[in-house]
Amino acid sequence: MGTVTGTDVDRTNEVGFVEFMREAEPRLRRAFIAAYGVDRGREAVAEALAYAWENWDRLQSVQNRAGYLYRVGQSRTRRFRTRPLFDRPDQSDYQFEPTLAQSLADLSERQRLAVVLVHGYGWTMREVSELTGIKVTTVQSHLERGLRKLRAVLEVTSHG
């Protein structure tokens, strides 16, 4: 049996980090962009991933790493508080309701996050809860309120 060297430990840590990032990065990206829009969302992802790389040894003991990094991204981009900007297509043949982007932007951050992740990406309320650290019942409340506001603004009378 050989001895474990510092290089072996470094390689194991790097492999663990890469595996974690393959799973967590898309989820973090979707959540941040849903909450903050494209520009701030990308900035928050970059901040969270940079923190993860710099502190990977410490993050080994964190049970919900993605949730922890979500809060890191939130706090590190807080200084850029602005309304989210969603890209709008330049075409007149919309594949979606043309006022949807602005209607989503007008929701509260948590309402927008719940609506986009649950109905846009098919996440469960539990998955949103685990990532954001918000109780499932609170996610459900934000989802219901956000959908109610969207239906009112978009004049949707049924949802089946």
Please classify residue 48 by burial: count the beta carbons closer than 10 Å to its beta carbon, then call 0-12 exposed, 13-18 middle and 19+ buried. Answer: buried
Which residues have a Cβ under 8 Å from the Cβ of 159 and sit 6 or more positions away?
A: 147, 151
Residue 110: which CATH number? 1.10.10.10
- Residue at token pair 């969302």: 41
Tens-place pLDDT, residues 46-98: 999 999 999 999 998 999 999 999 999 999 887 645 555 555 555 555 566 77
pLDDT per residue as tens digits for the range 110-134: 999 999 999 989 999 999 999 999 9
Average pLDDT of the chain to the nearest whole number:
84
Q: Is residue 3 part of a domain?
A: no
Decide: helix, strand or coil at residue 84: coil
**Last residue of a domain, which of 81, 115, 139?**
81
Task: Tell which of 81, 107, 122 closes a domain.
Answer: 81
Q: Is residue 150 assigned to a domain?
A: yes
Say whether pLDDT at 18 is over 70: yes
- In this prediction, residue 13 has a pLDDT band, given cuts at 50, 70 and 90, of confident
According to DSSP, residue 118 is labeled I
Residues 64 and 104 in one domain: no
91: in domain: no
The residue with greater pLDDT, 39 or 140, is: 140
Same structural domain for residues 35 and 64?
yes
Looking at the fold, whether 75 and 101 belong to one and the same domain comes out as: no
At residue 142, does pLDDT exceed 70? yes
Statement to judge: residues 65 and 106 lie in one domain: no
Q: How confident is the model at residue 16 (pLDDT cuts 50, 70, 90)?
A: confident
- The most distant pair of C-alpha atoms in the chain lies apart, rounded to whole Å, by 70
Q: Is residue 103 part of a domain?
A: yes
Domain that holds residue 139: 96-160
Choosing from 81, 110, 142, the residue where a domain stops is 81
Q: Are residues 24 and 75 in the same domain?
A: yes
Instruction: State how many domains the chain has.
Output: 2
Average pLDDT of span 18-34: 92
> Looking at residue 130, what is its pLDDT?
93
- Residue 148 forms part of a structural domain: yes
Predicted TM-score of the model (pTM): 0.72
The answer to whether position 56 is within a domain reads: yes
154 is a domain residue = yes
Domain membership flag for residue 60 = yes
What is the average pLDDT across 20-33?
93
Q: What is the pLDDT of residue 101?
A: 83
Same domain, 12 and 75: yes
